[in-house]
Amino acid sequence: MAVKAVKFGGSSLASAEQFKKVAAIIKADPERRYVVASAPGKRDAQDVKVTDMLYACFQAARKKQDIEPIFAKIEQRYNQIISELGLDFSLKEEFEKIKFAISHHVGEDYTASRGEYLNSMVLAEYLGYDFIDAENGIFFKENGTFDADHTNDVLAEILSEHERAVIPGFYGSMPNGTIKTFSRGGSDITGSIVARAADAEVYENWTDVSGMLMADPRIVKNPKVIKVITYSELRELSYMGATVLHDEAIFPVREARIPINIRNTNAPEEEGTMIVPFADKPNEDIITGVAGKVGFSIINIEKSMMNSEVGFGKKILKVIENHDICFEHLPSGIDTMSVVVDTAEIDGIREDVVNEMFRKTKADFINVEDGLALIAVVGRSMVQQVGTAGRVFTAMGKAGVNIKMIDQGSSELSIIIGINEADYAKTLNAIYSEFVKD
């Protein structure tokens, strides 16, 4: 039988009511055989995610404080779900084991991972599916990076022994057997790994929005859902802050050419977004989406005759490398060159960096400006369409936004624009409404 791998996020599994919706979705299609579950998320804006409560427990234990008050709240979250689902099932022994481990100074990652571990046990029980512990099938290497090949071999073997199963998201194990998590939001990565190991026809990622939206819904009102997006476009948008899917989640499925379908647990009738290797149809709005991030700094370097000085750029990049800084963009002019970096990366060392650049390059002028936001206008159809960049800049001009930097990647998949952080929301709205007419 064909297989669909499905992942449900924290808000999709935050309460018994949500569990019922999830079970109905899974039961509606017999191909939905492998289910990856997150920890219970927020039930409303004021609520606290179980993962955050677990991190708080770890901090309390580290300070030798009593973890009981926080842990009792975690137990209560699960007990309420279990009782409202009418299950004859108890996590009491698991709670005791975990509490004992946390108070005896087990690692932070183990502690955080128990949210998905416990939630997956409850979901497996409710669905009548097997439970597969991710520690037995998802592996990290000694240096902490994900071990894709070993994982795929072992996990494919384990899955073949279970017709239907629930697998906790977010974690796996180190070579010495200790638990390690991915970064926050990492259950999306687990879903992708499971889809690849199961050789699934699709990886369905169920969340609380009806797909990937053309812009962040917290900034642009009612943005349109993107129907089809390529892996490369998604990578540009998610790297730039469109956080509906963890930005590393595409790698396992991309290699296996498995499409991802983002769906809404609260509106399962909607088709959501298909993320595919190649899209045969152009995009009717020309752009696929727009996203952005704040918190960047720009280092501006000026030197007359820079353009004819062999190796100038290399000297600048060497200084950046010496200080272990990753750079985001390198816009350059005839006698100017700029380096855009994450502000957090140069905080505390900016004087050293600038002084070393002066010494190594004999530049005429160097300064650092903070408060830069970067916006990415992304679209596979922009390349065929003359005048797209012009429309972006005209829209920004009309909105009174000053452009500080422009960079177009060689793939012509995106235009990156640097602006003042104060203009961030205004710019996203101006670009969105230039291309999307409703």
Judged by CB under 6 A, the residue of 187, 261, 273, 414 near ligand ASP is 187
Instruction: Supply the DSSP string of 199-247, one letter for each residue.
Output: T-SEEEEEESSSS-BSS-TTTSSSPPBPSEEEHHHHHHHHHTT-TTS-T
Judged by CB under 6 A, the residue of 98, 132, 213, 430 near ligand ADP is 213
- Asked if 98 touches ligand ADP (CB under 6 A), the answer is no
Q: Which is nearer to ligand ADP, 162 or 224 (CB)?
A: 224
| Count of residues engaged in binding ligand ASP, rule: CB under 6 A | 13
Q: What is the DSSP letter of 401?
A: P
| Torsion region of 128: left, alpha or beta (phi above 0 gives left; psi -120 to 50 gives alpha) | left
- Asked if 259 touches ligand ADP (CB under 6 A), the answer is no
- Asked if 9 touches ligand ADP (CB under 6 A), the answer is yes
- Asked if 209 touches ligand ADP (CB under 6 A), the answer is yes
Judged by CB under 6 A, the residue of 58, 110, 146, 170 near ligand ASP is 170
Query: Any idea how long the chain is?
Result: 438
Instruction: Supply the DSSP string of 66-111, one letter for each residue.
Output: --HHHHHHHHHHHHHHHHHTT-----HHHHHHHHHHHHTT--HHHH
The candidate with the shortest Cα–Cα distance to 395, out of 367, 349, 430, 371, is: 430
- Residue whose pair of structure tokens reads 């190649």 in the numeric block: 278
- Scan residues 33-52 and list those touching ligand ADP (CB under 6 A): 38, 41
Judged by CB under 6 A, the residue of 208, 309, 342, 421 near ligand ADP is 208
Minimum CB separation from ligand ASP for residue 350, in Å? 31
Count, in order, helices (H) and strands (E) of the chain. 14, 16
- Residue whose pair of structure tokens reads 């089809």 in the numeric block: 228
How many CB atoms are closer than 10 A to CB 365?
Answer: 12
- Scan residues 11-40 and list those touching ligand ASP (CB under 6 A): 38-39
CB under 5 to 8 A by kind: which of Mg ion, ligand ASP, ligand ADP, none does 49 bind? ligand ASP
List of residues contacting ligand ADP (CB under 6 A): 9-12, 38, 41, 185, 207-209, 212-213, 216-217, 242-244
List of residues contacting ligand ASP (CB under 6 A): 10, 38-39, 49, 51, 115, 169-170, 184-188
